[in-house]
Amino acid sequence: MKKALMIIFLAAAGIGNTIMAQQPKVVVSDKTGWHKIGETTVKFEKETDEVMIMGADKFASLKFKVTDAAIDLISADVYYDNGTSEKININMPLKMAGETKVFNIKGGEHDLKKVVLTYKTLPNSKDQKAHVEIWGLKTNADKNHK
Q: Taking a C-beta distance cutoff of 8 angstroms, is the pair 27, 35 a contact?
A: yes
pLDDT in tens, the chain (146 residues): 444 433 444 444 444 444 334 555 567 778 899 999 999 998 766 789 999 998 878 999 999 999 888 889 999 999 999 999 999 999 999 888 899 999 999 998 999 999 999 998 777 657 778 899 999 999 886 765 44
User: How many CA within 13 A on the CB side of residue 94?
Assistant: 26
Contact 80, 111 (CB under 8 A): yes
Domains of the chain: 2-141 (2.60.120)
DSSP H helix total and E strand total for the chain: 2, 11
Nearest to 51 by CA among 65, 62, 33, 39: 39
